């Protein structure tokens, strides 16, 4: 009887997962997992974590909290989803400013014409001195085909991307070249993350820090997360 019940439960979960995947159509969730709440499943789609009923008819967005332990059961999954989505883009599709000895890596969605993005970049030496690698992805807030978008593409297509990034953020003119580039893909990911402004920092544990964070404060935050 115990074996039959275990098989039945597994079969029920498989049927629930199929119903949820069918309901989502072409979204192709990365994972569908049962939660401690009967009939409620956690679903990871790209960088997003949502909850769905077993029949796939209902979806909830928000945090699942264990009231007794006061534990947020969604945080870890959401952080992992962000990390996986960024890893899928790949560091070779980013513009990376790395110190000689890397202690931490931070992914920064940036806009060439954003004031606080320029402030962050003007202090790049301070981030590097603190052992923080800055991995840039582009998010021109004015959208595709705007001047900021064309600058982002030109930076990517430059012979020296890092120098072009530095020059453009300093307000200097750069050659407005075009080529195959990841800017639209990075913009799509930013929108999936719910990004509203720049700079937008994704920390190495998958947590986020929307807005400019000075190097010393960021280093302290990252050290605390990693126990350094």
- Active-site entry in 82, 111, 118, 135: 111
d(CA 63, CA 96): 33
pLDDT digits (tens, 9 = 90+) for 97-106: 999 999 999 9
Mean pLDDT of all residues in 26-37: 87
- Active-site entry in 117, 118, 135, 157: 117
Tokens describing residue 41: 């499943």
- pLDDT higher than 50, residue 183: yes
The predicted model scores a pTM of 0.84
Active-site annotation holds for 179: no
* Beta bridge partners of residue 228, listed in sequence order: none
Greatest alpha-carbon span in the chain: 75
In Å, how far from its chain's centre is CA 119? 22
pLDDT of residue 9: 60
pLDDT confidence tier of residue 79, bands split at 50, 70 and 90:
very high
- pLDDT higher than 60, residue 2: no
In Å, how far from its chain's centre is CA 180? 22
pLDDT of residue 228: 64
- Active-site entry in 16, 82, 113, 114: 114
Mean pLDDT of all residues in 185-196: 93
pLDDT confidence tier of residue 125, bands split at 50, 70 and 90:
very high
Tokens describing residue 97: 């400013």
* CATH numbers and ranges of domains, the chain: 2-86 (3.10.450.70), 92-226 (3.40.30.10)
- pLDDT higher than 90, residue 225: no
Which of 20-24, 95-99, 158-162 has the least mean pLDDT? 20-24
Active-site annotation holds for 141: yes
Mean pLDDT of all residues in 125-147: 96
Active-site annotation holds for 157: no
Tokens describing residue 121: 């970049």
Mean pLDDT of all residues in 171-189: 96
d(CA 153, CA 172): 15
CA dihedral (67, 69, 72, 74) in degrees, to 10, reads -90
Please choose, from the candidates 39, 46, 24, 35, the residue with its C-alpha nearest in 3D space to the C-alpha of residue 74: 35
Tokens describing residue 78: 């959401």
- Active-site entry in 78, 118, 141, 157: 141
**Eight-state DSSP code of residue 25:** G
In Å, how far from its chain's centre is CA 122? 23
pLDDT digits (tens, 9 = 90+) for 138-161: 999 999 989 999 999 999 999 999
Please choose, from the candidates 221, 204, 181, 34, the residue with its C-alpha nearest in 3D space to the C-alpha of residue 93: 181
- pLDDT higher than 90, residue 29: no
């Amino acid at each position: 009887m115990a074996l039959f019940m275990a098989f039945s439960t597994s079969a029920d979960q498989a049927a629930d997962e199929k119903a949820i995947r069918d309901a989502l159509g072409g979204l192709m969730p990365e994972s569908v997992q049962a939660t401690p709440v009967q009939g409620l499943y956690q679903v990871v789609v790209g960088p997003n974590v949502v909850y769905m009923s077993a029949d796939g008819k209902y979806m909830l967005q928000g945090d699942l909290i264990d009231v007794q332990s006061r534990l947020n059961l969604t945080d870890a999954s959401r952080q992992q989803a962000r990390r996986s989505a960024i890893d899928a883009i790949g560091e070779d599709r980013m513009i990376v400013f790395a110190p000689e000895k890397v202690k931490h890596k931070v992914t920064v969605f940036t806009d060439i014409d954003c004031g606080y993005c320029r402030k962050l970049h003007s202090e790049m030496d301070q981030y590097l001195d603190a052992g923080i690698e800055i991995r840039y992805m582009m998010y021109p807030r004015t959208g595709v085909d705007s001047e900021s978008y064309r600058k982002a593409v030109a930076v990517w297509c430059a012979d020296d991307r890092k120098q072009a990034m530095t020059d453009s953020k300093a307000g200097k003119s750069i050659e407005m070249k075009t080529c195959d580039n990841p800017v639209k893909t990075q913009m799509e990911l930013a929108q999936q993350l719910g990004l509203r402004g720049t700079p937008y920092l994704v920390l190495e544990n998958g947590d986020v820090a929307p807005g400019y964070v000075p190097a010393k404060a960021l280093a302290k935050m990252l050290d605390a997360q990693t126990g350094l």
